[in-house]
């Protein structure tokens, strides 16, 4: 048995480990930010254990918070202009 595994072998082993899956996928040993879902036909999901994956989530929420704030402010101005 070989002791040194390639990064692809480590990633595949981590993806197959059911302990890394709950509602989300979390594995610090898996180097990928985006991994296939348990049923790969359903697309991909973010690896919350990956540094890049957690940045994706952070930026996702940041962008939607900014957009929500801007749209909420714009909506308020429109409502105030109508009144």
> What is the per-residue pLDDT for 78?
87
Q: Is 44 contained in some domain?
A: yes
Range of the domain at 30: 7-82
> What is the per-residue pLDDT for 23?
87
Q: Is 1 contained in some domain?
A: no
> What is the per-residue pLDDT for 11?
93
The residues facing 25 across adjacent strands are: 21, 47
Domain total in the chain: 1
Q: Is 51 contained in some domain?
A: yes
> What is the per-residue pLDDT for 1?
56
Q: Is 52 contained in some domain?
A: yes
Rounded CA gap, 39 and 22, in Å?
A: 14
Q: Is 66 contained in some domain?
A: yes
pLDDT tens, position by position, for the chain (83 residues)?
Answer: 567 889 999 999 999 999 999 989 999 999 999 999 988 889 999 999 999 998 998 999 999 999 999 999 998 888 888 87
Q: Is 17 contained in some domain?
A: yes
pTM: 0.70
- Alpha helix segments (H runs only) across the chain: 7-16, 51-82
């Amino acid at each position: 048995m070989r002791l040194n595994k390639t990064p692809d072998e480590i990633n595949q082993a981590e993806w197959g480990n059911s302990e890394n899956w709950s509602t989300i996928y979390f594995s610090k040993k898996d180097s990928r930010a985006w991994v296939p879902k348990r049923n790969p036909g359903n697309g991909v999901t973010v690896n919350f254990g990956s540094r890049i994956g957690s940045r994706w989530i952070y930026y996702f929420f940041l962008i939607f918070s900014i957009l929500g704030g801007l749209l909420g402010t714009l909506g308020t101005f429109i409502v105030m202009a109508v009144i």
